[in-house]
A = this chain, B = another copy of it.
Amino acid sequence: MEDINLHFTGDIYAIERAHNLLAALIDNALHFGTAPGQLDPRSVLFRRVIDLNDRALRFVNVGLGGKSNGLPRETGFDITAASELMAIVCLSRNMHDLQARLDRILVGKGNGRPVLAGELGVTGALAALLRDAIRPNLVQSLEGNPIFMHGGPFANIAQGTNSLLATYASMNLSAVTVTEAGFGFDLGGEKFIDIKCRNGGIYPDAVVLVATLRALRYHGGQSLKSITQPDADALMKGMSNLKRHVDNARLFGFDPVVAINRFHLDAPDEIRLLQEVCGDWGIRAVVCDAWALGGEGALELASVVRDEVQGPPREHRFLYDADAPLLEKIERLATVYYGATEVNLTQQAASKLAYFEEHIGRDLLVCMAKTQKSISDDPSRLGAPAHYTFRIQDVHISAGAGYVVPLAGEMMRMPGLPKEPAAHHIRVDETGLISGLF
């Protein structure tokens, strides 16, 4: 477990190094006055990344200390998972595609025109650093099942699923490929289909929504303190949240299977209640005991899913047309999918969006950066939010990945450590045994 969580195969390091190499090369070109297209230092959008929760690096001034130490500039660091190169590695179909995407990264502007990474003439070096990182990593479960673990983008701030190459590899090697799409179906699920599948020319045969009683009760208003207690009222109220995800899955043409991830304190009555309500919606809800019993605990779920995937290939349906204007895509997500009545953009967000549409292309997809605590942009709106304004504060772009990243609410791309960081509890003994990691 530590091997996977601490350094693993080094993919994240390689991505971080390649990302920061490009940043260093941009600053180097500004220092020597060799940047293409009269690149304005103030327009440089490409930040640096580091795989740490380092609040103090969110906004930094670089190039200080006098003339020999670069050109002063305001910039900052995001967490590596939010790196455009992470997205590119996850979405590239092959080395050639990777190179082409690196070339399309938007660096900044010169005289109003976009300056792309390819114009710097250094993306070959980035590709070299990523040569091994694009190769999928194969690990195994405690029971010996093969698992591809490749690519680490969080679904709240990035595209949320593993790499296309890992999915391709799995599809070639096995009858059924299961992909975990991070956070709720409003985040990982939507991005899996609208971004990854659309890019890769593939489409799922079934959708499984994982539900827990406690999460549903939380969405029904139960307090976190008493979250393990049965509360059928809260459960019934919170079902509105699951219903929204079901409805959203149906927008893509699926009747999703609900996997009830059972906890040992879960009341059988409430499980039955949940299954009945799902039945009323025309949805099958199956108890899953994989956490406690391993593969055996998931046999029923597997059986139900196997039935689902037997049918003919599905029609590839997406939530929005790739060709629609950017704002229209965002509005469709916000209103149809998240339940908002309207979208409110800051002036900055609106003008960046217009610039991207004009200069990079209207066919950019949308990778929303949004809280995972609510289907809306506001962590405090539980259940199935409606009648609210979806607020976009800023818009980033990953031109190489092929999408814009609207930042909804108070979303951040670099987390901070808590007042009492977990680091206080981690120890390693003489034999190298680590404790306190979880």
Chain A interfacial positions (CB closer than 8 Å to B): 2, 6-7, 10, 13-14, 17, 20-21, 23-25, 27-28, 31-32, 34, 40-43, 50-74, 76, 94-96, 99, 121-122, 124-129, 131-132, 347, 410, 416-417, 419, 421-432, 434, 436-437
A24→B61 contact, CB < 8 A: no
Distance in Å: Cβ of A352 to nearest Cβ of chain B: 12
* Cα of A28 to Cα of B416 in the assembled complex, Å: 8
Enumerate chain B residues within 8 angstroms of A95, measured Cβ to Cβ.
428-432
B64→A60 contact, CB < 8 A: yes
Enumerate chain B residues within 8 angstroms of A430, measured Cβ to Cβ.
94-96
A62→B57 contact, CB < 8 A: yes
A419: nearest chain-B partner, CB-CB = B32
| 23 A-B contacts (beta carbon < 8 Å) | A2-B128, A7-B132, A17-B51, A20-B54, A24-B55, A24-B56, A24-B417, A28-B55, A28-B56, A31-B416, A34-B419, A40-B67, A56-B73, A60-B61, A72-B73, A94-B430, A96-B430, A122-B423, A122-B424, A128-B427, A128-B428, A131-B428, A347-B410
Q: Which of A27, A423, A424 has the most CB of B within 10 A?
A: A423
Enumerate chain B residues within 8 angstroms of A419, measured Cβ to Cβ.
32, 34
Contact of A74 among B13, B50, B72, B122 (CB under 8 A): B72
Enumerate chain B residues within 8 angstroms of A65, measured Cβ to Cβ.
58-59, 74, 76
Distance in Å: Cβ of A92 to nearest Cβ of chain B: 12
* Cα of A404 to Cα of B403 in the assembled complex, Å: 42
Contact of A421 among B25, B55, B68, B132 (CB under 8 A): B25
Looking at chain A's contact residues, the main secondary structure is mixed
* Cα of A21 to Cα of B51 in the assembled complex, Å: 9
Number of copies of this chain that the complex holds: 4
A133: nearest chain-B partner, CB-CB = B7
A42→B66 contact, CB < 8 A: yes
Enumerate chain B residues within 8 angstroms of A64, measured Cβ to Cβ.
58-61, 74
Enumerate chain B residues within 8 angstroms of A431, measured Cβ to Cβ.
95
Contact of A7 among B10, B70, B94, B423 (CB under 8 A): B10
Enumerate chain B residues within 8 angstroms of A121, measured Cβ to Cβ.
424
Would A59 and B55 be within 8 Å (CB), given that A417-B24, A427-B128 are in contact? no
A59: nearest chain-B partner, CB-CB = B65
* Cα of A50 to Cα of B128 in the assembled complex, Å: 19
* Cα of A51 to Cα of B2 in the assembled complex, Å: 24
Contact of A417 among B2, B25, B56, B347 (CB under 8 A): B25
B52→A21 contact, CB < 8 A: yes
Distance in Å: Cβ of A228 to nearest Cβ of chain B: 30
B428→A124 contact, CB < 8 A: yes
* Cα of A313 to Cα of B76 in the assembled complex, Å: 55
A348: nearest chain-B partner, CB-CB = B66
A-B pairs, 7 with minimum CB distance: A59-B65, A56-B70, A125-B423, A27-B56, A125-B426, A24-B54, A124-B427
Would A56 and B63 be within 8 Å (CB), given that A28-B421, A128-B434 are in contact? yes
B17→A436 contact, CB < 8 A: no
A74→B66 contact, CB < 8 A: yes
Would A52 and B66 be within 8 Å (CB), given that A61-B61, A424-B121, A434-B128 are in contact? no
* Cα of A212 to Cα of B234 in the assembled complex, Å: 65
Enumerate chain B residues within 8 angstroms of A422, measured Cβ to Cβ.
125
Contact of A31 among B55, B122, B132, B436 (CB under 8 A): B55
* Cα of A329 to Cα of B7 in the assembled complex, Å: 40
Contact of A67 among B13, B27, B42 (CB under 8 A): B42
* Cα of A72 to Cα of B58 in the assembled complex, Å: 11
Distance in Å: Cβ of A7 to nearest Cβ of chain B: 5
* Cα of A71 to Cα of B60 in the assembled complex, Å: 11
Would A53 and B66 be within 8 Å (CB), given that A42-B71, A426-B125, A430-B94 are in contact? no
